[in-house]
Amino acid sequence: MKDDGQMTLEAALAEKEQVLDLVTLNNQPFVKTMRKIAVDLAKANGAVTSDDLRLLADKYGLKPMHQNSWGAIFSGKCWKVIGRKPSLYKSNHARELKVWAYVAY
C-alpha cells in the first residue's frame, strides 16, 4: 500500500488474482463446467463472451454460487481479450463485455 492509503497497481492485481482463485475454488464445479463450454465455443466460433455462457447456463439451469464466478471462467494464460461489446441482457444495462479468444499454449 502507498502512504496515502491507496494500493499500488501491483498489489491490486495480486489481490484480484487471489479473489479469483478463491471464487474458482469455492465454485469449482460451475467454473470447470462453464470453462469447458467456453473453450468449446471459442474454438468453434473464434470467440466467446460471458453472455454466450450465460445463455447456455440459463438454458440448463446452471447457477454460480457467486457472480464473480463468471470472471473466473476466463482466468488463465489461455484467454486473450480480442474485443468488447455491450451485453444483450437488460439486467446488465448494456455493460461492456470482453470478447475472449482461446489461445492454447
Q: Which stretch of DSSP H or E encloses residue 28?
A: helix 28-45
Range of the domain at 17: 9-75
Q: Is residue 88 part of a domain?
A: no
| pLDDT per position as a tens digit, 32-83 | 899 999 999 999 999 999 999 999 999 989 888 877 788 889 988 999 999 9
Q: Is residue 85 part of a domain?
A: no
Q: Is residue 3 part of a domain?
A: no
Q: Is residue 95 part of a domain?
A: no
Among candidates 71, 65, 77, which has minimal Cα distance to 28? 65
Q: Is residue 25 part of a domain?
A: yes
Q: Which three cell numbers stand for residue 61?
A: 439451469
Secondary structure class of 98 (helix, strand, coil): strand
How many structural domains compose the chain?
Answer: 1
d(CA 31, CA 65): 10
Q: Is residue 101 part of a domain?
A: no
Q: Which three cell numbers stand for residue 57?
A: 447456463
What pTM was computed for the model?
0.72
With 60 as the cut, is the pLDDT of residue 2 above it? no
> Taking all residues of the chain, what is their mean pLDDT, rounded to a whole number?
84
Q: Is residue 103 part of a domain?
A: no
